Structure 1
Amino acid sequence: MTLNTLLLEQKCPKILVLGAGISGKACATWLSTFDCDIDLVDSRKIELKKNLPSNITFFPSCIFAKINLRKYHAVVVSPGLSPHEKSVNNFFIINKLASEHRIPIWTEVDLFFSALEISANKTALKSKIIAVTGTNGKTTVVCMVKDLLKNLGYDVQLAGNIGTSLLDALMERMQRGKFPAFWILELSSFQLFLSSDFKSDVSVILNFSSDHLDWHSSEEEYLNSKLKIFGFPHLSGTPIINADDVDLSMRVEQHISSLISEKKIPKPVYFGLTNNKKKLDVLIEKHDNEEWFCAYDEKSKILPIMKVSDTRPLGKQNKINLLACFSICSIMIENIFEMKGISNFFKLPGHRLEEVFFNNKLRFLNDSKATNISATIFALQNLSDPLFLILGGDLKNQRLAPLTNVLKNRNIVAYVYGKDKNQFREYFKECNITHFTIENVREAVILIKKHLSKKNETSYEEINILLSPACSSKDLYKDYAERGNEYHEAVLSCFAECGHG
């Protein structure tokens, strides 16, 4: 039975929604608009602030293993819950029983596409869907795409792993009676892993490195979840491929060739900075002795879009992010010449290499959104030494070796805190990396001020003080934003308000 058949034809189906976070509540609320009986359950002892519709019953402090699954027609699972028994937050037993009793498991992604299909049957407008995933840079790229398309006059809607859930955004649009020209979806591997259907007009995996091994059973499973963004079982839309990430581009090409295509397979669009083995469609080239972001049109005519010098100093990674943005928009808009000459259309999202304070030679940067090791390495590659690095939290079973390999040959002092600080300490001690253990981000800033007072700053042009945790924030903070805000407040309190030196 399909999801739409269950919702539109089954008489009062009983549906179990696992997890009462943002996504779970949105799923339950959307389902409540149909003739359904919904049980919303959560293992945590929490209270919901808003009153629920009458056909939703909420059960906090629920032991998933004691749920009588046979009374449900379907299960909807929140993305934070892993199907694997090893994970702290899992629905392993529910997943096993659902498989045995042939009870379908759906996700918010499935409900979102179901809702779009139902809505499309009622309205003439069909919105285009842009789907973005990757280990790092997702939020930056979707914000760039949003800003560029809005600058060109299009109505766009961000949703997904960026704060507004897919279904909350959809229900808000339905209330307004106005669907966007473009849905821009930021999607995590958690959201894609259990989804049974996916369709988009353009999709991209920005990059890939090991992460979330506390949730996924293996790195291969993590990558396969990401690959679902290109559609399954049918290829949907135009694939965009980062040619600089050679291993990833090969896997994407293999995956695309394995998918069923109902139409002519769309030609992938390649972007990159350095890869010369493939013909790049979006790249940086010199025109009139200046570097430009450029794109080729369908007739292989090159279009200079924006001068590289017209952007603020971005670093290598955000140049790649901009190339991804221009790749997406070159497909989505009818005439790519609309983009010509555009400049400074975007603002980088907060907590991503965000400058908090600069005083003479001291530059304080907030990169709290770096929740994995590869993101921290990206940040370090864009900054000079000497550097004070604040990091720590929940490592999520990541390997520390790639980070220590970067740190051990540089003039960097590390300050580690949080759940896995002892792992950092052991690795750093073994690699002779200067480090200090502290309790939290605020304490790190206070200690750095003390250490700076003893350092001879005159011998350096600039000293960088960077919060780039390489870890999840959930052990000490509500989220990465709360962690970043604590850093911001501590820096201003210790350095801006009272001055330095």
Structure 2
Amino acid sequence: MIYHNNNIKNKKITILGAGISGFGATKLANYKKAKVFLSNNKKFNNPFNNKIEKEFSHSEKCKDSDLVILSPGIDPQKNKIIKILSDLNIPIISEIEFASWFTNSPIIAITGSNGKSTVVKMLHEILQEKYENVLLGGNIGISFSSNVVDELKSELINSVHLLEVSSFQLENIKTFKPYISCILNVTKDHLDRHGDFNNYLNQKMKITKNHDSNSFVVYNEDDDNLKSIFKEKINSLPFSIQKKNQFFTKKKTIFYSKTNEKIIDQNKTNLLGEHNLSNILACLNISEILNINKKQLVNSLINFKPLKHRMEVVYKKNSFMIINDSKSTNLDSTNSAVKSFKNEIILLFGGFSKNELDKDEIINITKYKNISEIICFGQIGKQIYEILKKKTKSVLIQNFNDAILKSIELSLNKKTIVFSPGFKSFDEFKNFEERGEHFKKIIKSYFV
């Protein structure tokens, strides 16, 4: 076994998958002078030239390995080479596990079904008040391994690794141990990979697999599953918009419990919705562990600009708004979006799904009185419409462009248009970003 051994010089390391994580792991293994073999199931542009051996299929060559690093995009249950390697007892680990072997800097890792990117981006601003080098990585466009290489090459000091971590990245961890693990929420998602909710929940909980008295867990007490798991665990700090913990809320204002000091009014930030109030609480609890100056912290939160495609205000005139929440790829995120508004809204709801629809959950999400009309669109649109047509005012317009134009017509330039689809984008788009950009293009062309 090689686990947690910094000396991988001349060890035969196979990296499965040539995406962001795979390239990052390749870069780190090569820097540490391992014999690297990069195996991908299709051709890719090779940034390493002839420094490493590569292949464009997962062949028998992978068996000649001391260690295998598995990219998160590869489903271990569906990949034949993974079973072969497992039967040979070759250690298989995730990229975040591998990267963690080579850093002495603290790790702050954030996971959850919704809100991860917003929280890590807020923390990235906040932590710069304390750390000289805040290395943002993980499931947010740059790999943990790439950041570790930069850390080692530049001999960075006073550094912290801030990671957004997905369930896929946690599947094959062994010794990965954040100084602070934060779980924002866990709702039904990625069931096509994990099979059922319990398996998905168990994968998420691996973030605390190596938690002990020298580390911390920050968790959302309003999530019943998380509450039952962590309420008795050492160094577990809950946050809640319903209950009083280190911080408490009144309406949209957060107070510090020890002194009843007012910390921040959400209305003074650019963040909409109850779910973002919860995200702010997560950041406050993490900042408290790290002794971040509260005044500097509040300034960072007030100046923070929301991420694209996450409750993004695309158009605003007086009280009329159009919201792009294309990142909403599960029903819980749509529920959060709908609850963010008291005024009447037009909801754009639909997209792509291979899973059986949860009728009760769809009905519960769409029962709010402020929903004036629901426009069902996309591959899943007809199924949604069949569930809702006798329950609430709804219309089926499967073409995305036509659905957007219908929402503008129904809004009468008064009712807020909320594009919070609740489903994935793969019926018409590569990802939620492309879908969100298309939505914004249509809106801007109409209102220019």
Do the two structures share a fold, i.e. TM-score over 0.5?
yes
Aligned pair partner of 2:73 in 80, 83, 93: 80
Amino acid at match of 1:466: V
Gaps spanning 5+ residues in structure 1: where? 85-89, 121-126, 257-264
The answer to whether the 8 Å contact 2:177/2:211 transfers is: no
**2:38 is matched with which residue: 24, 37, 40?**
40
Q: Is 1:132–1:205's contact at 8 Å kept on the other side of the alignment?
A: yes
Query: How far 1:25 moved relative to its partner?
Result: 1.5
Partner of 1:467, secondary structure, is strand
- Contact 2:382 2:398 (C-alpha < 8 Å) held by counterparts: no
Give me the TM-score of the superposition, normalised by structure 1. 0.80
Pair 1:110-2:88 in alignment: no
Identity of aligned residues (%): 28
| 1:52 pairs with 2:45 | no
Contact 1:227 1:252 in 2 (8 A): no
Cα distance, 1:14 vs. partner? 2.8
Q: Deviations over 1:472-493 (max 9, x none)?
A: 2344323222211111111000
- 2:442 matched to which residue of 1? 490
Output the CA distance in 2 between the equivalents of 1:238 and 1:22: 28
Structure 1 residues 318-467: aligned runs within 5 Å: 318-333=276-291, 339=297, 344-360=302-318, 362-384=320-342, 386-395=344-353, 397=355, 399-401=357-359, 402-408=361-367, 410=369, 411-429=371-389, 431=391, 433-440=393-400, 442-449=401-408, 451-452=409-410, 457=412, 462-467=414-419
Deviations 1:258-306 (A, max 9, x none): xxxxxxx43x22221213xxx51122259xxxx752335xxx5555433
Deviation at residue 384 of structure 1 after TM alignment: 4.0
Offset at residue 188 of structure 1 (A) = 0.8
User: Unaligned stretches of 5+ in structure 2?
Assistant: none
Q: What amino acid maps onto 2:160 in structure 1?
A: F
Q: Quick one: which amino acid aligns to residue 479 of structure 1?
A: N
**What residue is the counterpart of 2:245 in the other structure?**
280
Task: For 1:180 and 1:393, locate their aligned partners in 2 and report how far apart those are by CA, in whole Å.
Answer: 44
Is the 1:395–1:420 contact (alpha carbons within 8 Å) kept by the matching residues of 2?
A: yes
Equivalence for 2:192: 214
- 1:52–1:42 CA distance, 2 compared to 1 (3 A): same
Gap change, CA 1:385 and 1:228, over 3 Å in 2: same
Which residue identity is paired with 1:54? N
Report how far residue 179 of structure 1 moved: 4.5
Q: Select between 15-24 and 353-362 the one with higher mean Cα deviation.
A: 353-362
Deviations 1:146-166 (A, max 9, x none): 222235675422111112221
- Change in CA separation of 1:235 and 1:189 when aligned onto 2, cut-off 3 Å: farther
Note the C-alpha offset of 1:30.
1.6
Deviations 1:296-344 (A, max 9, x none): 5xxx555543344533463211111111110000001266676578761
Report SS of the residue matched to 1:142: helix
Q: Is the 8 A contact 2:31 2:149 kept in 1?
A: no
Please state how far the C-alpha of 1:376 moved relative to its aligned partner.
0.9
What is aligned with 1:243? 221
Distance change (3 Å), C-alpha of 1:174 and 1:292: same
2:255 partner amino acid:
C
Write out the 4+ residue segments of structure 1 that deviate beyond 4 Å after TM superposition: 151-154, 233-236, 300-303, 334-343, 429-433
Instruction: Please tell me whether the aligned partners of residues 24 and 145 of structure 2 are also in contact (alpha carbons under 8 angstroms).
Output: yes
Q: CA deviation at 1:359?
A: 3.4
Which structure: larger Rg? 1
Q: TM-score, normalised by structure 2?
A: 0.89
Contact 1:147 1:345 in 2 (8 A): no
Alpha-carbon distance in 2 for matches of 1:114, 1:70: 23
Cα distance in 1, alignment partners of residues 291 and 283 from structure 2: 12
Is 2:13–2:69's contact at 8 Å kept on the other side of the alignment?
yes
Q: State the alpha-carbon separation in 1 of the partners of residues 245 and 419 from structure 2.
A: 35
